[in-house]
Amino acid sequence: MTKPDKQQGLSAAARKYNLRMLIASVAYVALLILSITLLKSIRNEVVRLIVAVVPMLPIILGMGAFITLLGELDELQRRIHFEGFAFSIALTGIITFTFGLLESAGFPAFGIIWVFPMLIAFWGIGSGIARKRYE
């Protein structure tokens, strides 16, 4: 008996998305490492700003790949993602708002750089919960 291909059950749109996200992720890691390394030696402020945001390019490409995927999903899959987004927005809002209130009581500031990864993580969890409900 042969081992089933992990991608066998995926649609062509999902396989294309996976490839695009893999490329975007590898590019992000490479550009982030390069950016952090270069920032240690660059003194010109304008150049520093440009080098600091260069890793955003593959993130934008990854978002484009995801938006394209959403347009190619069936109605049920879109609903699952919508419910995942709702879960993510609610939980991220509760957590960030709570941290904002705690800051007024002297707690350390919550870095805004964590909001997007939090949204993505909670979207994944929320989508998984929604998917289970529709099985």
Q: Which range is least confidently modeled, 36-40, 73-77, 101-105, 121-125?
A: 73-77
Domain boundary among 56, 73, 90: 73
Domain that holds residue 129: 74-135
**CB 122 within 8 Å of CB 96:** no
Same domain, 68 and 14: yes
DSSP label at 73? Answer: S
Q: The pTM is what?
A: 0.77
Same domain, 79 and 103: yes
Q: What is the pLDDT of residues 43-72, one digit of tens each?
A: 999 999 999 999 999 999 999 999 999 999
**Over 80: is that where the pLDDT of 4 sits?**
no
Report the C-alpha gap between 74 and 69 in whole angstroms.
10
Percentage of the chain beyond pLDDT 70 is: 93
Joined tokens for residue 26: 């590898």
Give me the chain's average pLDDT, please.
92
